[in-house]
């Protein structure tokens, strides 16, 4: 019996995604699975130490843990024309953000990576004066409302409930990213430790995908299990939030999702936000094929990094549709839910 700890954040979308697997609705022979709930920034930090066998992580954090974990194509969250938002107690123009004291949920969150890219975009050749303070994600809106912060970077359910606090949405980073790239904003995914046996990694990937599919096929039932983690959202808004981040992208993000992730991480590296560059083709585990993407071409072993020349050859093959192992395209992006009401004039 192999003991597996699955660590995820205590949020409605993660609770929804993992419910079937963690509640015993899906059998997992040979595995003893336990659940760990921690905020996403804590999980990002612990992933650097390789603490948990399976963990939710921010994509921003992945380059720093790529040597310890593979990244599954299932279980991921993408914002398709929506995402983390910046809120303030009054309407602000983009340039005004360059002078604020802003609360952020963590420096390894993808929300912060997207915000830094947006900051560079707005600042251009001028110097930004944003002062960042890390604040527990569920306290950011309260501190903005109380005047302790000029603005806040909001993730999770706050993307729908900020108006309840009388706050203004200044920018939706997922909407901005789509305008820049035409692609969804990759936010977070599921990482599995590389030192696990290949058959265990394969089994875990399939189990997580089945758990996501179960939730999508039994929404009303699984919603009830997720509601305690919705932080005050009524069932209608809780379901709306869940559908924003558990959908076809979550079943398997496919080539389009991988393209979006490559562009995000590459841009973060080129702009000096990320310190490590990672070749995702030797790190992304294709659930449909049961292999790393670069293994589809026989170039890489699961526990060993590929040589630079091998990666170049594998990369050249990846976008060749004539290759019989060419990974299937991602499903059509889900229809974007109606954007939350903004008080912007």
Q: Which of 121, 156, 178, 198 is catalytic?
A: 156
CA distances from 92 to 74, 111, 150 (A): 37, 19, 10
CA distances from 254 to 38, 82, 286, 301, 333 (A): 28, 19, 8, 21, 11
Is the alpha carbon torsion for 221, 76, 244, 58 positive or negative?
Answer: positive
Tokens linked to 241: 């939030």
Concerning whether 156 is annotated as a catalytic residue, the answer is yes
Instruction: Give residues with Cβ within 8 angstroms of 125, minimum separation 6.
Output: none
Number of continuous H segments (helices) and E segments (strands) in the chain:
12, 13
- CA atoms of 291 and 282, how far apart (whole Å): 10
- CA atoms of 46 and 36, how far apart (whole Å): 12
CA distances from 61 to 68, 127, 234 (A): 12, 26, 32
Residues carrying an active site annotation: 156
């Amino acid at each position: 019996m192999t003991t597996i700890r699955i660590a995820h954040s205590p949020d409605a979308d993660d609770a929804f995604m993992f419910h079937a697997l963690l509640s015993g609705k899906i059998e997992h022979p040979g595995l003893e699975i336990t659940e760990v709930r921690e905020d996403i920034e804590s999980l990002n930090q612990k992933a650097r130490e390789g603490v948990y066998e399976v963990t939710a992580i921010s994509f921003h954090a992945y380059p720093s843990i790529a040597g310890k974990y593979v990244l599954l194509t299932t279980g991921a969250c993408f914002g398709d024309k929506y995402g983390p938002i910046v809120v303030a107690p009054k309407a602000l123009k983009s340039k005004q953000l360059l002078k604020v004291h802003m609360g952020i949920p963590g420096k390894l969150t993808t929300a912060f990576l997207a915000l830094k890219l947006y900051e560079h975009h707005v600042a251009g050749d001028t110097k930004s004066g944003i002062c960042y303070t890390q604040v527990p994600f569920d306290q950011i809106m309260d501190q903005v409302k109380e005047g302790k912060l000029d603005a806040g970077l909001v993730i999770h359910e706050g993307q729908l409930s900020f108006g309840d606090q009388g706050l203004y949405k200044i920018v939706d980073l997922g909407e901005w990213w789509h305008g820049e790239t035409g692609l969804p904003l990759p936010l977070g995914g599921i990482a599995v430790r590389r030192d696990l046996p290949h058959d265990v990694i394969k089994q875990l990937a399939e189990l997580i995908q089945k758990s996501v599919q179960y939730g999508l096929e039994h929404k009303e039932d699984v919603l009830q299990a997720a509601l305690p983690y919705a932080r005050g959202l009524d069932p209608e808004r809780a379901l709306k939030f869940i559908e924003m981040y558990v959908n076809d992208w979550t079943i398997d993000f496919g080539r389009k999702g991988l393209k979006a992730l490559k562009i995000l991480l590459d841009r973060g590296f080129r702009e000096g936000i990320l310190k490590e560059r990672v070749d995702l083709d030797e790190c992304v585990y294709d659930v449909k094929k049961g292999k790393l993407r670069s293994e589809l071409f026989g170039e890489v072993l699961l526990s060993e990094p590929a040589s630079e020349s091998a990666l170049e050859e594998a990369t050249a093959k990846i976008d060749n549709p004539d290759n019989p192992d060419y990974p299937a395209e991602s499903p059509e992006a889900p229809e974007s839910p109606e954007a939350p009401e903004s008080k912007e004039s």
